[in-house]
Chain A
Amino acid sequence: MSNEEQKFSDEFINAFVDDQLTPEEKAQVYAHLSGNEALNRQICELRKVRDMVQLAYKEPPLPERGMASFAAAGRKYAVGLVAGLALVIVGGMGGWFLHQPRAPQDAAVAQVMSNPEEPAKVLFHVSDGNTEHLKSVLDDVEDLMKYYRRLHQKARVEVITNGEGLSLLLAGISPFAERIQKMQKEYHGLTFVACQNTIDRYQEELGLTAKLLPGVVTIDSGVAQIMRRQHEGWVYLQV
């Protein structure tokens, strides 16, 4: 395996971590993931650095005088227009503030101890509810499952959703309900997991009872599950 490790340049691995590769290039990396401890570690370390940078600026300190805005500086325009704009801004910022603490922390720090003897174990973490993003997650999962099937390699893959990513697994909301059911039937090692904490939060804050797609497993906390899996040697992919 040691000459395999030399196969990718650091830039290439960074591009993998940042999802800047073509599907073919990504597949090349996936192909070398299981059993290649050095590569796993390198990817984890890069992800960890990225997660830490994100965490460090998630809530930057605000200027003591408060943030500037056009509303405050809008002297030239009619008061009504300015007030209207201010409302938009205040509303937007209010939304931002309310939303912010609920946003899932992507700070799950990857710690992988890969063991080449075991079946491949990969977890995907989905915390973003954007449709395009969800589609690319499912594409990646499917590519990986196909790849393992071609290799006759046993694999367990978990797609863990929390925060806004939960929408992937909500009945009546998920844009990919059918596709997920098809994938569940097709690949036995594939599990879709929903975070109970997120479900509870939906219930509490929005009064919505989350109905999950059939076959979806719930766990206490998405983040805790990720940590547990990592300690069990799963490869962590945040997509």
Chain B
Amino acid sequence: MDVFNFLGRTREAKARLEQHRRRLYRIAYAWTHNAALADDLVQETLAKALQKSGQLRDPNAGEAWLYSILVNCYRDHFRRRRVTEEIDENTITHESTPEKESSEQQVVLRVREAIARLSEGQRQVVTLVDIQGLSYLEVAQILNVPIGTVMSRLCRARHTLKDLLGDFAPRTAAEESKIRRIK
């Protein structure tokens, strides 16, 4: 019976973890801009989480906990590699589909390029806050830095992004048509 209990628990834990895969992937992709690497990092993160899932007492802390594992996997990966991964430009340009609005696609690509140019710390903060909508406190815990550091990195990251993406600002007419079509 113990075996069944164990299997049952593992299966539950896996199913629970799978729910986070997409969200983790989005962040891992935003950090690496490399689909295969992002997928590997997420798989590694979830596998580690599964191993350690017994340590997790509060299920609500789950998501922040997963991101902190992802941060470690990401760090370990680049420590192992020593060489910075190149941003895979091909992956970025391949995803357009005919029905995709090309100007929207341009915005998407420009933003990803701009994000890729941020420092690692700034990129992590801005993506965790903006894409995942995590609180500053959660991000501080995930990255293991003081909350003031989160705030200043975020501030600088957005400032840089604004500068890099500034020329999208005056094109209101184009933006309006883009936004109408999103519906």
Which A residues have a C-beta under 8 Å from some C-beta of B? 10-11, 14-15, 18, 20, 45-46, 48-50, 52-57, 59-65, 67-70, 73-74, 77-78, 81, 84-85, 88-89, 92-93, 96, 105, 107-109, 111, 197, 221, 223-224, 227, 231
Which of A50, A60, A68, A78 gathers the greatest number of chain B CB atoms within 10 Å?
A60
Cross-interface CB contact of B11 among A15, A53, A81, cutoff 8 Å: A81
Interface SS majority for chain B = helix
Q: Mark B103-131, 1 if CB is under 8 A from A, else 0.
A: 01001100110010000000000110111
- Whether A227 touches B176, Cβ cut-off 8 Å, given contacts A14-B155, A56-B111, A63-B36, is yes
Bound-complex Cα distance A78 to B7 (A):
9
Measured CB to CB, the nearest residue on chain B to A13 is B155
Measured CB to CB, the nearest residue on chain A to B93 is A61
Decide: B46 and A70 in contact? CB cutoff 8 A.
yes
Closest chain-A Cβ to B45's Cβ sits at a distance in Å of 11
Closest chain-A Cβ to B168's Cβ sits at a distance in Å of 7
Decide: A69 and B18 in contact? CB cutoff 8 A.
yes
Q: Which residues of B contact A63 (CB under 8 A)?
A: 35-36, 38-39
Name 29 A/B residue pairs within 8 A (Cβ), A-sorted: A14-B151, A18-B129, A18-B136, A18-B154, A20-B136, A45-B169, A49-B162, A50-B130, A52-B161, A54-B130, A54-B131, A55-B107, A56-B107, A56-B108, A56-B111, A57-B26, A57-B131, A60-B29, A60-B38, A63-B36, A67-B39, A70-B14, A70-B17, A84-B11, A88-B15, A89-B18, A105-B183, A107-B179, A197-B183
Measured CB to CB, the nearest residue on chain A to B88 is A61
Decide: A55 and B108 in contact? CB cutoff 8 A.
yes
| Given A81-B11, A227-B180, 16 additional A-B pairs, CB 8 A | A46-B162, A52-B168, A55-B107, A57-B27, A57-B127, A60-B26, A60-B30, A63-B39, A64-B36, A68-B43, A77-B10, A85-B15, A93-B22, A227-B176, A227-B179, A231-B172
- Whether A69 touches B21, Cβ cut-off 8 Å, given contacts A55-B108, A85-B14, A221-B183, is yes
Q: Which residues of A contact B183 (CB under 8 A)?
A: 105, 197, 221, 223
Count how many chain B residues have C-beta atoms less than 8 Å from C-beta atoms of the other chain: 59
Which of A14, A56, A67 gathers the greatest number of chain B CB atoms within 10 Å?
A56
Which of B21, B26, B27, B92 gathers the greatest number of chain A CB atoms within 10 Å?
B21
- Whether A60 touches B35, Cβ cut-off 8 Å, given contacts A14-B154, A15-B136, is yes
Bound-complex Cα distance A70 to B17 (A):
9
Closest chain-B Cβ to A173's Cβ sits at a distance in Å of 22
Q: Which residues of B contact A67 (CB under 8 A)?
A: 21, 25, 39
Decide: A15 and B130 in contact? CB cutoff 8 A.
no
Decide: A65 and B115 in contact? CB cutoff 8 A.
no
Closest chain-A Cβ to B122's Cβ sits at a distance in Å of 12
